[in-house]
Structure 1
Amino acid sequence: MTMTNGDTEQDARAAEVTEFPYVTVTTQASGIHPSTARLVAVDVLTFNEDGEIGEEFHAVLNPGSDPGPRHYHGLSHEEVAEGQRFSQVLRTLDRLLDDRTLIVHNAPRVWGFIVSEARRTMNAAARSNRSRGRGRGRGRRRRQRVGHVPKPAAIVDTLATARRQRIVLEDTRLAALALVLKVDAESPVATVERARLPEHETTRELNDMLIDVYFALRDNGELCITTPAELRADRFGLQRSHVRVDAVEVPRPHPNPGTHIAGGNLKRGMEVVIAPEVETDPDVLIEAALKAQLVYSEKLTRTTSLVVCNETSDLRGKAMHAARKGIPLLTDAEFLAAVAKMGTKSQNQRS
């Protein structure tokens, strides 16, 4: 059998993936939500079980829109203006990410930006190709082939892993987690000296650190792993599980009975918010809530009945706001027990 160039290229790439099966990605963006912000920089490192680096890639990206404040990502407006379009780097990202285990810190956000930018690029290319196809006569330009949404074999989220492993974080940034894990890292607190460093240097430093954090977490316990097929964008463009996104859209058949009373029973229609600081997979908690005819909400509001959170001191985020509003907190174990009690009560009533 004669080997074609395509076969040779596929075999060579398969060998690269086998030799360096992992890839870390660290991004810089103009804001926090992929639906409204844009990527301005991306850094990629492939590596193996020994932590040896295979390929390195870094690009400053010009989104063609407001890049946001320099202190947020370390790039001046002039540097962003000189950057590449995402369409120019997508095929490189495809080659580096496809079939590898992708490690990121805060997967909903980082993977959300990658998917959002890829789809935006692909849609723009499709529109351009359709307009070319309507042209007549000679001189038509070639169709654009910009690549596809990357297809990693799996996605490991180091932030979610830290929470599942009950690692207490006063600061959720990667460097703060590294310090807790005794990984060599500088404080994440901003300094004048660090602000003067070029973006490619600080982003690469974080991406290198991500490799060490991944190995430390893997040695410490179970990793939080998902696949692209299990995720989709929520209304903010964050890539979350189908369970989580669907739960927000479920109709509310029962009126909200109000705030849960500590020590009392849960009631159908109560609105439940789940804080990030839980040990149980949030999808398990969400499914339990829906099965008990409770209502799941991403956002804490005046209609919230209770918040599931395992932290009881040094509260932050949703748990802190709940405490201020007088909304009770239940640990994941307490919540699941209360849900089970609802089921037992219903069975007793029927019998």
Structure 2
Amino acid sequence: MTTTTEKDSDAAAQDAAPSEQSHEQTQKNNRDQRAAQEERERRRREAVAAHPYVALVTHASGIHPTTSRLITVDVVTFNEAGEIGEDFHAVLDPNTDPGPKHQHGHTREEIAAGQRFSQVLKTLDRLIDGRTLVVHRAPRTWGFVVSEARRAMNAAARANRSRSRGRGRSRRRQRVGHVPRPERIVDTLATARRQATPLTDTRIAAVAQRYGLPAPSPVASVERAQRPPQEVAREQTLLVRDLFFAVRDAGPVAQRSPKDLRADRFGLQRSHVRVDAVEVPRPRPNPGRYRPGHSLIRGMEVVVAPEVEIDPNTLIEACLREELVYSEKLTRETSLVVCNETTDLAGKAMHAARKDIPLMSDAAFLAAAERVKEQPGA
């Protein structure tokens, strides 16, 4: 005869069995997931070791990440021999005004059929993480990537918070990826400037030609406009790869760790030194314009043009150390522009010449910074 106690024990055992099985299955699933993740990481490490560089070219609706959006990204990984490992191209739909066609080569219909950046971020993470990222004009290119990644991550976080509050609990949490994590970022344009390469045109093809590379004309043409935009983008990406080898053979390259960069007010990724310098309160009143042949005076406003051989961070640090005011923007209040070009002036140097603002070479500026005076006539 079975007692009530025995029946209860049997029932409890039967109830416990499925629970134990479920727990064991969960543990097995977790082990399988960890093993699969470890295998993916192993394969990725092998891929990075085989092709440790990645060239990236982007096209956007405008020039500043804070006010514009990415329209295309083109990526190739490569090794020391220049051999391509993986490649990727995407047309992106920003769900806003894509800007003029000449900026990126795509029609509005082609862009509307494109992907959202959130859909390609994981792919970019896989291709960029741990590699040396090679770009032309790093503040802008890297600035757009970081800006778009953070925008996608913030949108996913908002959607997940909405889900956790009960609206759409049945939907899976969005995991769009992270801001890519390159080992370092090499800027081919900045490198050309540090190497004192004369540049009247800073576009990729023009700089490549300066280094003796076979490159198409950088000037827009009917022939180029009729080519598929993806083909043109890939041509530029491969040219960035070739330019990287050329500038590296010519001398030291301009490179930064992504940890040393942050966005300025335009979303351009610049060094902490540079962004912090703009935000430093003016230490003294501006004594006015620099007079050639005389000493620098504390409080003078200094602009550093791109055409310098010395690392701009070194020049900016000298400004801060000697209580000179660093400014990104050239105005009539500017006392001096640091620039090594004296002919074929462009950009800041050209505007300085038009406003009769003196130019001084980077080496001369560092020497003058050692003799800064407290006030005129001191």
d(CA) in 2 for partners of 1:61, 1:139? 29
1:291 paired residue number: 321
Residue 140 of structure 2 aligns with which residue?
A: 109
Alignment of 1:207-286 (within 5 A): 207-286=237-316
1:331 positional shift? 0.2
Aligned position for 1:314? 344
Q: CA deviation at 1:42?
A: 0.2
Which has the larger Rg? 2
Q: Distance in 2 between matches of 1:211 and 1:139?
A: 46
Distance, in Å, in 1 between the alignment partners of 2:315 and 2:271 is 13
Alpha-carbon distance in 1 for matches of 2:222, 2:169: 54
1:7, 1:117 → 2: CA distance?
28
Unaligned runs of 5+ in 2: 1-30
Q: 1:85-112: CA deviations, max 9, x gaps?
A: 0000000000000000000000000000
Aligned residue number for residue 340 of structure 1: 370
Matching residue within 79, 94, 100 for 2:110? 79
* Structure 1 match to 2:9: none
Q: Does 1:165 align with 2:188?
A: no
> Which of 201, 205, 221 matches 1:191?
221
SS at match of 1:215: helix
CA distance in 2, matches of 1:42, 1:4: 32
Which residue among 171, 183, 208 is the counterpart of 1:178? Answer: 208
TM-score, normalised to structure 2, is 0.89
Secondary structure (helix, strand or coil) at the match of 2:308 reads coil
Deviations 1:274-331 (A, max 9, x none): 0000000000000001111000000000100000000011111100110110100000
The Cα offsets for residues 128-178 of structure 1, whole Å up to 9 and x where unpaired, read as: 000000007x95211000000000000000000000000011000000001
Match of 1:153 in 2: 183
Aligned to 1:32: 63
Secondary structure in 1 matching 2:372: helix
1:94 and 2:125 equivalent? Answer: yes
How far apart, in 2, do the equivalents of 1:143 and 1:102 lie?
Answer: 30
Offset, 1:253? 2.2
Identity of aligned residues (%): 64
User: Aligned pair 1:50/2:42, yes or no?
Assistant: no
CA distance in 1, matches of 2:294, 2:106: 53
Secondary structure of the residue aligned to 2:337 is: strand
- Measured in 2, the distance between the counterparts of 1:144 and 1:333 equals 52
RMSD of Structure 2 on Structure 1 (CA) = 1.5
TM-score, scaled to structure 1:
0.96
SS at match of 1:15: helix
The answer to whether 1:303 aligns with 2:328 is: no
State the alpha-carbon separation in 1 of the partners of residues 206 and 328 from structure 2. Answer: 25
Alignment: residue pair count:
345
Give 1:70's aligned amino acid: K
Separation in 2 of the partners of 1:200 and 1:23?
18
In 2, Cα distance between the equivalents of 1:139 and 1:272?
56
Matched with 1:327 is: 357
The answer as to whether partners of 2:163 and 2:169 remain within 8 angstroms in 1 is: no
Q: Retained in 1: the 8 A contact 2:59–2:73?
A: yes
Structure 2 counterpart of 1:30, which letter?
A: S
Q: How far 1:66 moved relative to its partner?
A: 0.3
| 1:54 partner SS | strand
Partner of 1:12: 43
What is residue 173 of structure 2 aligned with on the other side? 143
AA matched with 1:126: A
2:236 alignment partner in structure 1: 206
